[in-house]
DNA sequence: CTATTTGTTTATCC
DNA sequence: AGGATAAACAAATA
């Protein structure tokens, strides 16, 4: 279930391993997709003997820093998660693809569907791909002006698909996009260029609100409140938590999308742009 | 057996 | 050239 808040939650699971040495690295199936582009023998060799120093999540990406200029990049894909097992002799399960063993625990990367990614970087600085990631939605750089410009550039694309673009909305995934649009009362199939100023401003506020609140909620609760669309989007006969209208579902932007037909009315295109 | 899945990359078309 | 869209990837679940 890894979107912004779930990724941050996964990252924290390895925190108790900070400052401890990696004694051994288990990879049961080096050939699987999660290791694409990474040489597994090298990965095992470099991580072994290193201490875990720090970690950070940016959107759906995570970066773990180890001693002596060694970095581990992780992406959870559709079904990945990080866990901590408190026995040093933990026996890995079927989809535990990477297990970092420390004296008192094992740090585990699990991914049932193999869409995640593991990568190694060596150097004094973080890897290039990390430095190029878009600014966080919760940072000062995530301004209404930048959002407006991005939305205008993607004006022919449905707003649902635009919200899934990691180059501007890092961490937003399928359920977050639906939650944001439901709160901003925008129909998911609206072409991005059709949003008026008030809607764009509302979108900007809700993107930030959902991101901030999801991270806070998941750090202690793990469940989202019944007042969220999230709690109803997969229920059979699910209803809008605001107005109790039956929710609708359809593929929009290539993904199953859930919305309230009452709160999120389909709107006509703006009457006209400038004459030719 | 078929359809579905909380993500990204690649190919293809426009 | 750049943007939009569909397919591909893999495995579990219903």
CATH code for position A52: 3.20.190.10
Q: Domain check: are A77 and A191 in the same one?
A: no
The H-or-E segment that residue A257 falls in is strand A255-259
Which domain does A28 fall in, by range? 4-131
Establish whether the CB of A161 is closer than 7 Å to any nucleic acid atom in strand C.
yes
What's the pLDDT at A29?
95
- Cβ-based neighbour number of residue A141 at 10 Å: 9
Q: Domain check: are A165 and A84 in the same one?
A: no
Residue A231 belongs to some domain of the structure: yes
What is the C-alpha to C-alpha distance for residues A87 and A100, in angstroms, rounded to an integer?
12
Residue A273 belongs to some domain of the structure: no
Contact A98, A64 (CB under 8 A): no
Residue A182 belongs to some domain of the structure: yes
A240-276: b (≥16 Cβ within 10 Å) or e: bbeeeeebbeeebbebebbbbeebbeeeeeeeeeeee
The protein residue nearest B5 (Cα–C1') is A78
Q: Distance, angstroms, CA A249 to C1' C11?
A: 24
Please identify every residue of A annotated as catalytic: 2-3, 60, 255
Q: Domain check: are A152 and A96 in the same one?
A: no
Residue A158 belongs to some domain of the structure: yes
Q: Distance, angstroms, CA A184 to C1' B11?
A: 35
Q: Domain check: are A55 and A113 in the same one?
A: yes
Q: What are phi and psi of A240, to 5 degrees?
A: -60, 125
pTM of this prediction? 0.94
As for how many domains chain A has, the answer is 2
Of A263, A268, A230, A271, nearest to A246 (Cα)? A263
What is the C-alpha to C-alpha distance for residues A5 and A138, in angstroms, rounded to an integer?
12
The answer for A123, left when phi > 0, alpha when psi is -120 to 50, beta otherwise, is left
**Which nucleotide lies closest to A172 by the C1' atom and the CA atom?**
B6
Q: Of the candidates A77, A110, A131, which is a domain's last residue?
A: A131
CATH code for position A158: 1.10.8.50
Establish whether the CB of A115 is closer than 7 Å to any nucleic acid atom in strand C.
yes
Contact A94, A79 (CB under 8 A): no
- Write out which nucleotides of chain C lie closer than 7 A to a protein Cβ: 3-7, 9-12
What's the pLDDT at A1?
64
- Cα angle for residues A82, A83, A88 (degrees, 5° grid): 135
Residue A217 belongs to some domain of the structure: yes
Per-residue pLDDT 10s for chain A (276 aa) are 689 999 999 999 999 999 999 999 999 999 999 999 999 999 999 999 999 999 999 999 999 999 999 999 999 999 999 999 999 899 999 999 999 999 999 999 999 999 999 999 999 999 999 999 999 999 999 999 999 999 999 999 999 999 999 999 999 999 999 999 999 999 999 999 999 999 999 999 999 999 999 999 887 667 888 999 999 998 888 999 999 999 999 999 999 999 999 999 987 766 544 333
Contact A3, A176 (CB under 8 A): yes
Q: Distance, angstroms, CA A88 to C1' B13?
A: 53
Residue A276 belongs to some domain of the structure: no
Q: Domain check: are A175 and A213 in the same one?
A: yes
Establish whether the CB of A236 is closer than 7 Å to any nucleic acid atom in strand C.
no
Residue A50 belongs to some domain of the structure: yes
Q: Distance, angstroms, CA A65 to C1' C13?
A: 36
| SS (HEC) of A77-125 | CCCEEEEEECCCCCCCCCCEEEEEECCCCEEEEEECCCCCEEEEEECCC
Q: Which of residues 48-107 of A touch strand C (CB under 7 A)?
A: 78, 94-95
Q: Which of residues 195-234 of A touch strand C (CB under 7 A)?
A: none
The protein residue nearest C8 (Cα–C1') is A115
Q: Domain check: are A38 and A127 in the same one?
A: yes
Burial class of residue A59 in the structure, from the number of CB atoms within 10 Å of its CB (0-12 exposed, 13-18 middle, 19+ buried): buried
Q: Distance, angstroms, CA A153 to C1' B14?
A: 17
Q: Domain check: are A49 and A163 in the same one?
A: no
């Amino acid at each position: 279930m890894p979107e912004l808040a779930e990724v941050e939650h996964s990252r924290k699971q390895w925190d108790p391993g900070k400052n401890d040495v990696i004694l051994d690295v288990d990879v049961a199936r080096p050939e699987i997709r999660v290791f694409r582009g990474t040489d597994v023998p090298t990965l095992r060799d470099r991580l072994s003997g290193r201490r875990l120093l720090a970690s950070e999540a940016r959107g759906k990406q995570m970066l773990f820093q180890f001693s002596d200029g060694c970095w581990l990049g992780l992406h959870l894909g559709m079904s990945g998660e990080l866990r901590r097992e408190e026995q040093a002799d933990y026996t890995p399960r079927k989809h535990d693809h990477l297990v970092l063993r420390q004296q008192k625990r094992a740090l585990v990367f699990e991914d049932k569907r193999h869409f995640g990614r593991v990568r190694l970087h060596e150097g004094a600085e973080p890897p290039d791909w990390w430095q190029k990631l878009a600014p966080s939605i919760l940072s000062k750089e995530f301004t209404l002006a930048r959002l407006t410009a991005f939305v205008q550039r993607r004006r022919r694309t449905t707003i649902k698909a635009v919200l899934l673009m990691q180059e501007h909305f890092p961490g937003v995934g399928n359920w977050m996009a639906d939650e944001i649009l439901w709160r901003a009362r925008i129909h998911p199939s609206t072409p991005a260029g059709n949003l008026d100023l008030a809607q764009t401003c509302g979108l900007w506020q809700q993107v930030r609100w959902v991101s901030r609140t999801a991270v806070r909620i998941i750090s202690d609760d793990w469940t989202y409140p019944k007042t969220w669309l999230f709690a109803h989007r997969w229920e059979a006969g699910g209803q809008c938590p605001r107005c109790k209208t039956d929710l609708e579902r359809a593929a929009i932007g290539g993904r199953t999308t859930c919305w309230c037909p009452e709160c999120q009315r389909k709107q006509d295109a703006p009457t006209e742009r400038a004459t030719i």
